[in-house]
Structure 1
Amino acid sequence: MGPVLTCRTGPVAVRTLAVLTGVLLLSACNEGRQSVLNPSGRDAQLLFDLAKIMFVGALLLWLLVGALFVYVTRVNPYEMSRRLAEGLIVGGGVLFPVVLLGGLLVYSLPLMQAPRDADSGMRVHITAEQWWWRVDYELPDGSRVTSANELRLPVGRRTGLVLNAHKVIHAFWVPALGGKADMIPGRETYLSLLPEAVGTYRGQCAEFCGASHALMAFETVAMQPDAFNAWLTAEAQDAALPQGEQATRGAQVFAREGCGSCHTVRGTPAVGRVGPDLTHVGSRKSLGAGILGVEAPDFANWIAHTETLKPEVAMPSYDHLSRDDLQALAAYLGGLR
């Protein structure tokens, strides 16, 4: 029998591998439209800058503690004088933390003001449901334009968000644009966002709220002000009339199945408020609160398998519809732009 070769990994190698793995994982978090490490809004940038300063402070503190440890265990591993020991306790255990934490507190508290300040810009009322988002844009005359599962904001302007929730606590969070805010039933909370780059960013409920919590996302679209104004004007209009024989049949299926008792389609007899407003659902970025696209197969999949795609959702699965009726209904909804 030949010699047996063994491979031993020392503690240093294990620690080095762990650090390198952590760095690789952290670098992967820097990309994507739901990353706090890729800020695209004024408020997210302030939080990112604060995080960097706190990281540097924590690193300096770690290095200092490590240096003291090496000094007392390796460089001078002898009994200290009482005066020196008391100096280390008072200086390192009291004075240094007070100065460091006090400095961070003085720097960070003013950063919290801007996202909470009242502003003269537009207000958007957002209500967290189970498990979707009701979004109402407040117009200058006090009227509202209702949408769902999508938030659109003008770039370079601060928009105030009035947050509420139905039944249980949720939390509103668009990592690339700003911080989190709790949404509490019966209590309005306030947050404002100032996007600085055109793009589409993913938002998420950040508070566990039930079976489909992980399936409660939304798209936030930051647009140039002129494009946003044009979109809001179009969004305020009634639903488009069905185009083509299939979409017309889909509108009939929609009415026959009683969909209008839960959903609103402005300009039609459908005035339900239980579920999302569908007036312009075909022009949105996603379906089912961020879990599907908005192509005809996505609508058909959602309608037929709602309870499977989103556990404990209030909407039942319409799996009893014939293939032709299902496709017609999907064509009608996809045409609501």
Structure 2
Amino acid sequence: MKRTLLLLPVILSGCAGVQSALDAQGQSAILLRNLIFVIVIVCSIVWLAVMAMLFWALLRRDRPKPEDSRTDKPMQTAVIAAVAATVVIITGLTVASFYTTRGLGPVPDVDVTIRVRAQQWWWQFTYEDREPVHAFQTANEIHIPVGKNVRVLLESIDVIHSFWVPSLAGKQDLIPGRENVLTLRAEKPGFYRGQCAEFCGLQHSHMAFVVIAEDEQNYRQWEATQRATPSEPREAEALAGKAVFMARQCSACHTIRGTQATGISGPDLTHVGSRMTIGAGLMENSRGSLAAWIADPQTLKPGNSMPLVPLSAQELRQISAYMESLK
């Protein structure tokens, strides 16, 4: 409830779930949107001109052709003008694209650095810090401060993915063995949906994430919470769920800071209860969704790397209660 109230102003800002290159709310996205408008306007003018010439030619098709060879000169002039206009238009669009691309490059002044590691089929986000002890991880959800430059370091450990938040920046590929860099900047608070934009396997369409842009105060509060270890569960059911989690193979795949769970093959679950979605945007985060995912992840998202862990009904309730408490 506290988190919902904290994010209510962001939700009411009207940007929740937006995924459109035309709804540009970041500097890079604005440059790309303006380039799109320029190309569409120029191409529309060309199309109208072609249609006008075609209509004019159709009106004159029944007129007798004069035998005077001097009538070829206007035709030659028209062809030369058309070729010249084509060269000018293509050159202009090329120059516009060149300067737009230059504006999308990395910027020297950054406030936050996030390392993004794409995996089939989820996103690992590591907030880096000069002191490694202050670094932390989350999954499928990025928080950034409004009006600040965020450097995003992109890498993949399996196949080629593509990081795309159309309202904030252009696409950038994540290629195994290579690090690419992208800059994010949100000009106003909001929820901005992101998506893998490169076909990467069976669950490519279910590899989404969300960028939450918050004011500086809310961002710093979230950052401090993420760096802290979760408190011990107070409810008996959640406490029993912790014991079940540590006793099963869950702790070998996932990390929960402050506990014996130090696995790295799955998402960091230290504060999983505070995230908006689970399964990389597959379902809204709730205790019921958590229980359904834990009970049978392969039915919900076939082909993902999470195995089916045999649990009794009581153990399932206990683990889902524990996951929900991790905020």
| TM-score, reference length from structure 2 | 0.89
Q: How does 1:81-92 map to 2 (within 5 A)?
A: 81-92=71-82
Q: What is the letter of the counterpart of residue 319 of structure 2?
A: L
- Looking at structure 1, the residues matched to 21 and 182 of structure 2 have their Cα atoms a distance apart, in angstroms, of 17
Alignment equivalent of 1:65, drawn from 36, 50, 70: 50
Alignment equivalent of 1:176, drawn from 159, 163, 167: 167
Alignment equivalent of 2:139, drawn from 141, 148, 152: 148
Q: What is the letter of the counterpart of residue 120 of structure 2?
A: Q
- Looking at structure 2, the residues matched to 124 and 267 of structure 1 have their Cα atoms a distance apart, in angstroms, of 22
Percent identity, aligned pairs only, is 37
- Residue 12 of structure 2 corresponds to which residue in structure 1? none
Q: 1:153 offset after TM fit, Å? A: 1.0
SS at match of 1:146: strand
- Residue 307 of structure 2 corresponds to which residue in structure 1? 316
Deviation sequence 1:236-276 (CA, Å, 0-9, x none): 11122122100001001101112111100011011110000
Alignment equivalent of 2:266, drawn from 253, 275, 291: 275
- Residue 118 of structure 1 corresponds to which residue in structure 2? 107
- Looking at structure 2, the residues matched to 317 and 310 of structure 1 have their Cα atoms a distance apart, in angstroms, of 12
Q: Is the Cα–Cα contact under 8 Å of residues 263 and 272 in structure 1 kept in the other structure?
A: yes
Q: 1:174 offset after TM fit, Å? A: 0.9
Any stretches of 5+ residues in structure 2 without a counterpart?
1-14
- Looking at structure 2, the residues matched to 31 and 301 of structure 1 have their Cα atoms a distance apart, in angstroms, of 25
Q: Is the Cα–Cα contact under 8 Å of residues 31 and 37 in structure 1 kept in the other structure?
A: no
Q: Is the Cα–Cα contact under 8 Å of residues 39 and 177 in structure 1 kept in the other structure?
A: yes
Q: Is the Cα–Cα contact under 8 Å of residues 34 and 176 in structure 1 kept in the other structure?
A: yes
- Distance 1:43-1:77 versus aligned 2 partners, 3 A rule: farther
CA RMSD of aligned residues (A): 1.8
Deviation sequence 1:83-139 (CA, Å, 0-9, x none): 2333333321x2111111212222232222233223321211001001000100112
Q: 1:283 offset after TM fit, Å? A: 0.6
Alignment equivalent of 2:158, drawn from 141, 152, 167: 167
Q: 1:32 offset after TM fit, Å? A: 5.4
- Looking at structure 2, the residues matched to 31 and 83 of structure 1 have their Cα atoms a distance apart, in angstroms, of 60
Q: Is the Cα–Cα contact under 8 Å of residues 115 and 193 in structure 1 kept in the other structure?
A: no
Q: Is the Cα–Cα contact under 8 Å of residues 31 and 38 in structure 1 kept in the other structure?
A: no
Q: Is the Cα–Cα contact under 8 Å of residues 16 and 192 in structure 2 kept in the other structure?
A: no
Identify the range of structure 1 (159-168 vs 38-47) with the bigger mean alpha-carbon deviation: 38-47
SS at match of 2:127: strand
Q: Is the Cα–Cα contact under 8 Å of residues 168 and 186 in structure 2 kept in the other structure?
A: yes
SS at match of 1:249: helix
Identify the range of structure 1 (270-279 vs 70-79) with the bigger mean alpha-carbon deviation: 70-79
Q: What is the letter of the counterpart of residue 36 of structure 1?
A: A
- Distance 1:31-1:120 versus aligned 2 partners, 3 A rule: closer
- Looking at structure 1, the residues matched to 105 and 261 of structure 2 have their Cα atoms a distance apart, in angstroms, of 37
Q: 1:31 offset after TM fit, Å? A: 9.8
2:29 pairs with 1:44 = yes
- Residue 98 of structure 2 corresponds to which residue in structure 1? 109
SS at match of 1:66: helix
- Looking at structure 2, the residues matched to 243 and 201 of structure 1 have their Cα atoms a distance apart, in angstroms, of 34
Q: Which runs of 4+ in 1 moved over 6 A?
A: none
Q: Is the Cα–Cα contact under 8 Å of residues 119 and 159 in structure 1 kept in the other structure?
A: no
- Looking at structure 2, the residues matched to 245 and 212 of structure 1 have their Cα atoms a distance apart, in angstroms, of 36
- Residue 248 of structure 1 corresponds to which residue in structure 2? 239
| TM-score, reference length from structure 1 | 0.86
Greater relative CO, 1 or 2 (CA 8 Å, sep 6+): 2
- Residue 139 of structure 1 corresponds to which residue in structure 2? 129
SS at match of 1:62: helix
